[in-house]
Amino acid sequence: MKRILALTAAAALAALSTIAPAAHAAEVRGAGSTFAYPIIWKWAEVFRERTGTLVEYQSVGSSAGVNRLKDGVVDFGASDRPLKPEELEKYGLGQFPIVFGGVVPVFNLEGVKPGQIRFTGALLADIYLGKVATWSDPAIKALNPEVKLPDAKIVVVHRSDGSGTTFNWVSYLAKASPDWKRQVGEGSSVAWPVGTGARGNEGVSSEVKRVPNSIGYVEYTYVVQAKLAYGTVQNRSGKFVAPSAASFQAAALSFDWAAAKDFFVVINDSAAEDAYPIAATTFALMYREPKVPASGQAAFAFWRFALGEGETFATTFGYVPLPPALVQQVKDYWAKTFKGGV
């Protein structure tokens, strides 16, 4: 993956000077979400520069990250699919949100620019079901009468690995399409009716960029980084909304986080008027009693940085940082749930 452009705002870097370097810092190992890889990578880079603590993060997909945590291979997992409270209890885990973003339909069509194509959830479901198989299909033309679309087969690209990005994508499709819910359903991985698979957000981005007439879905930061064309998606209010920090935030803030046990909230298909309908959250998961106490303490130092000074970087990378009230809820949760989480 290409190096992400670093934030150059002097004020943000100056704020980080309050973090003192550690003489003998513990290593922290994490794995999971490719959705959140760009921001976790940046947080880890700056955190190491300021504290000397190495945070090693493997972008292997949400499912693999959770499995590695359960196997005791890493100190934290990152997943865009929250675990249910009963599953967390079973494995002795806790989870908390770290950043918001969105899953975006992307395409490769000659002469069609970003934001020019409109999609509904039902149309996206029909494309991924194989019911709408060409770009000239009347269902696409009806939504996009002014767009010059080719009479070409749609090349469908999806994730091949267990993925929180997939979880949020198919969760939304199941809400938008009874046919999708009945025939395919939900999950971090599904039996895709059509299409070709690619690994990670990186893989889907590369495949869509390489293959003419293709469509895929990726986290918004990858849209910006790879300069992919994207579509707008109709939300529950009937608006066709473009992916943006503002539209992700509108979705995230429309849910009652305080009432959710273990922060079990899925923020897609929001009823908020300006919300992007396929918004998503990345969650960090850790053992309530860390396997290696020193690494656990270092991990919480990292999260305190990420949800504090590090939030400036989230904004720069196209994510939405947690609002202050939710950050405080997360810190209160740490104190109640994790040994050494204060």
Residue 204: both structure tokens together: 């889907």
> How many angstroms separate the CA atoms of 101 and 108, rounded?
22
Q: What is the mean pLDDT of the chain?
A: 92
Nearest to 313 by CA among 305, 104, 48, 324: 305
> How many angstroms separate the CA atoms of 309 and 332, rounded?
18
CATH number of 10-100+259-264+281-337: 3.40.190.10
Span between the terminal Cα atoms of the chain, in Å: 35
The reported pLDDT for the residue numbered 304 is 97
Residue 129: both structure tokens together: 């079901």
Nearest to 201 by CA among 249, 171, 160, 229: 160
Sequence ranges of the chain with CATH classification 3.40.190.10: 10-100+259-264+281-337, 103-256
* For residue 1, pLDDT beyond 50: no
> How many angstroms separate the CA atoms of 293 and 339, rounded?
9
* For residue 21, pLDDT beyond 70: no
One CATH from 3.40.190.10, 3.40.50.300, 3.10.150.10, 2.60.15.10 for 103-256: 3.40.190.10
Residue 283: both structure tokens together: 């969650």
By DSSP bridging, strand 279-287 and strand 93-107 are: antiparallel
Residues 118-157: tens digit of each pLDDT: 999 999 999 999 999 999 999 999 999 999 999 999 999 9
Q: State which amino acid sits at residue 182.
A: R
- DSSP classification of residue 6: P
* For residue 83, pLDDT beyond 80: yes
Instruction: Read off the pLDDT band of 204 (50, 70, 90).
Output: very high
The reported pLDDT for the residue numbered 341 is 64
Instruction: Read off the pLDDT band of 10 (50, 70, 90).
Output: very low
The CA R_g of the chain, rounded to the nearest whole Å, is 20
Q: What pTM value is reported for the model? A: 0.89
Phi–psi pair at 56, nearest 5 degrees: -95, 120
Q: Is 121 within 8 Å of 141 (Cβ atoms)?
A: no
